[in-house]
Amino acid sequence: MAAVALQRRQCDAGGQPVPVVRRSIHGRILALRGAAGENAPMARPTHAFSLPGVANLHSHAFQRAMAGLAERQTDPKDSFWTWRETMYRMAARFDPDTLYAVAAQLYAEMLEAGYTRVCEFHYLHHAPDGTPYDDPAAMSRALVRAARDTGIRMTLLPVLYMSGGFDGRPLGERQRRFGHDVDGFLRLLETLRGEEDAMLRVGCALHSLRAVPADAMRAVVAALPPDMPLHIHIAEQIGEVQDCLALRGARPVEWLLANAEVDARWTLVHATHLEPAEVTGIARSGATVAICPTTEANLGDGLFPLRDYLAAGGAFGIGSDSQVSVSPVEELRWLEYGQRLSTRRRNIAVGADSSSVGETLLHAVQASSARATGFDPGGEVLLLDEDAPQLTGATPEDLQDRWIFSGNRNLVREVHVNGELVVSEGRHRDRDAIAARYRQALVKLL
C-alpha cells in the first residue's frame, strides 16, 4: 500500500479515471478531481505524501469524558472489573445533549489524527433508570448528528445487552439504560437503517456472550440482512473465559465458532485470550479482529497473539475503544511494540509481500475496513505534512514506517472525506466551536 507520487490524470486497470490531487506551487490543495469531476470523492490517494484514511473499528464515544479519571488505585488488584465501576458512574450521567457534545469532540480529534470512519459500539440507549426516551433512538441520533457535523463516516452499531452474566442474571441497576429485549432491539435497528446514506451505515453489535443469551443471539442474527456488519466483544478478560468454560462448556471464541456461522461480516473485538485452534478458526472464518492496543494496555487485558494470527492469514483492524488515546499511529505502534516486548525480537508484523512493518499494518487495516464498516473502499484521503522534519527525504517505500515510528507529533495536515475538506493545517474545520461545547458538557458531567 505504498503512497504514489503526484501524477497526471490517468486511468486504472479497469479504464476508470484515477482521482488526482491538484496543488499550488506552495503545496496547497487546489482541487480533488475524481471520476465525477471537481471535488468528487477520492477513490484513492495520488500524492507522494498521501495515504488512505484509517478505519476505527471500535469506539465508545462517551468514554472520552473519563479519559485519565480512572488512574488511581482503588484496589491492590485493580483490573478491568474495577475500572468498569468508574465507567458505570460516568455512563449514568449522559443525556442526548452531552453525548452529542462529547462525541463531536472525539470525532473531530479522530479526523485530525487520521481516522476517517468509525464503528461506534453504542449501548447508552435509555434514560439512566432504564426508561426509554420519547424517541427511543434519541441517544443513537445524538451520535449520528455528531458524526455528520464533524464529517466522519460512521458505522453505528446499536448494542444488544440483555443479561448481567453467563448465568443469565438480570441487568444491574447501573446497566438498566443499556437493556433491550430482542423485538425492541430489532425495531431500533430498522428505524436507524432508514437513515443510511453516503456517510452512515448501521450494523449490529452483540455486547458479549455473557450479556446476550444464546437463544437471543441466534434470533437476532437470523433476522439481520446477510450483509450487515456484526460486531461482538469476546475473550477480552481471563475471567470471561473462565466463566464461559464453566457455564457453556467451551472458551468464548471456541463456543462462538461452534454455535454461529461466523464469516466475513463478523468483527470480534479484542479476542485477546485465545488457544491455537481459536486463532486458526477465526482466520479461516474470514472474520476480522478489532484490536485496541492502548485500551487493552490501560486495562491490563493482555496481548493479542498477533504473530500466530498473521501466520494463519487472519484479518484485523484497530480501535480506540475507551479513548485513552485517539491516534491510529499509537494503536499501530503499540500493536507492534507489544509483540516485540513479548518475543524480545524486532519487526514482527511483516507479511509475505512486504518486509515493512508500517506497510504491513496499514495494508491490513485497509483490507479489513470495508467488511467491518459496511462502506465501500475509498473516498477518504490523508495528506501528511511534507514539511515535517521527520518526513525529510521520505519515499513511497518508507512513508508508512516514518509515519508510525517517528514520534508523537501529529503529521496529518489535511483530511478529505467524501470529497469534503474536514481538516486543514492539522485543525478540524470547526475545532473551536466543538471544543467550547465539549467544555460545557464536561462541567455537567464531572
Q: Just list the catalytic residues.
A: 270, 321
Rama region for 379: left / alpha / beta (φ>0; ψ in -120 to 50; rest): left
Rounded-to-integer distance, Cα 384 and Cα 373, Å: 24
Are β-strands 315-318 and 288-291 bridged in parallel, bridged antiparallel, or unpaired?
parallel
Evaluate the CA torsion angle 218, 223, 224, 226 in order and state its sign. Answer: positive
CA-nearest of 178, 183, 83 to 139 is: 178
Single-letter amino acid code for the residue at 442: L
In the β-sheet with 380-384, what is the strand arrangement from edge to edge?
50-52, 380-384, 412-417, 420-424, 427-428
Please give the DSSP secondary-structure letter assigned to residue 229. -
How many whole angstroms separate alpha carbon 412 and alpha carbon 428? 11
User: Is residue 35 helix, strand or coil?
Assistant: coil
Do 363 and 404 touch, CB atoms closer than 8 A?
no
| 332 within 8 A of 317, measured Cβ to Cβ | no
Cβ(291)–Cβ(306) below 8 Å = yes
